[in-house]
Amino acid sequence: MHATPAETTEPAFRTLGGLRFSKGHGTGNDFVLIADPEGVQTIDAEQVAALCDRHRGIGGDGLIRAVPSRYLSEGRELLGTSPDAEWFMDYRNGDGSLSEMCGNGVRVFVHFLRAEGLVDLPDGGALTIGTRGGVKTVVRTGENYAVDMGPWEFIFPGEASAKAMDSLVTAEGLEVPRPALSVSMGNPHTVVALAELSELEATRLFDAPHVDPVPAKGTNVEFVVPSDPLVHDGIGTVTMRVHERGVGETQSCGTGACAAAVAIRHWAGAEAPDTWQVRVPGGVVGVKFFSGAAGHEHVELSGPAVIVASGTLS
């Protein structure tokens, strides 16, 4: 049988032969990880998409390059105010597009730095990381990590305050458009509350949901079911699925879990707790609200990080 042209096409990452990589995940949100301590490795959008391809590449929701902040213009800018942010998480979505931040990714990033011997982080120790969503502080708690995700804000604050919703979301499997609330965690999210787990299971996320109006840079869309009762022993619990822009449905989304807790807490009212568990297809992450600098409320995301394999591109 003769091979067709499609079968003989070289993958876009073939020119990266010899490059070392690792594969890691945080509650199923998985990443290709590259260490670039000298700041010399260039991986373009097409190569990222090829590496993240689950059939012809390594497979992943995104690619993370670990590079010293001084080698990137965004990193040098952060070093001006945060000189401890030695390492920068250079993150791209699975389609190769740049993303501001990834909550699961930053935990896996720090675990990768430890595994590569690039940092020494004892249990209880903190590490400052540069990202396109600003500086993040990550604390090691055993083999888990807790990340100060910084302040949250409503993308459309007027509508959020007046109506507790700012957009309508249409998705396959849901009979009618649903009201939603848009939250920024350094990257954009649109959160939809559903009444039943059966509705959540019936929602099909192969294609991106339609959001009207959509935030300027697009949005990740979270579908969330509050538990019944919502709060037990002072902890709120929700179950979530997510469609990430530039990726599709993922097993977990850290910034999305934070945004979901923001929205559900807002809808629940003044008596809602500050501590949450968010159940995602890939596991459970924790979300806490606390007072940060300059009176802004910050969000902490906590959960596991795992390196599952390492190798070299052929």
Per-residue burial over 189-200, b if 16 or more Cβ lie within 10 Å, else e, is: bbbbbbeeeebb
pTM above 0.75, yes or no: yes
DSSP class of residue 60? -
- Kindly report the CA angle at 135 between 74 and 26, in degrees rounded to 5? 105
Is 52 known to be catalytic?
no
Catalytic pick from 102, 146, 214, 259?
Answer: 102
Distance, in Å, from the CA atom of 129 to the CA atom of 25, rounded to the nearest integer, reads 18
Distance, in Å, from the CA atom of 88 to the CA atom of 134, rounded to the nearest integer, reads 10
Catalytic pick from 253, 258, 264, 285?
Answer: 253
Q: Along the 314 residues of the chain, how does pLDDT read in single tens digits?
A: 444 444 546 778 878 989 999 999 999 999 999 999 999 999 999 999 999 999 999 999 999 999 999 999 999 999 999 999 999 999 999 999 999 999 999 999 999 999 999 999 999 999 999 999 999 999 999 989 999 999 999 999 999 999 999 999 999 999 999 999 999 999 999 999 999 999 999 999 999 999 999 999 999 999 999 999 999 999 999 999 999 999 999 999 999 999 999 999 999 999 999 999 999 999 999 999 999 878 889 999 999 999 999 999 98
Burial class (CB in 10 A: 0-12, 13-18, 19+), 107: buried
Is 258 known to be catalytic?
no
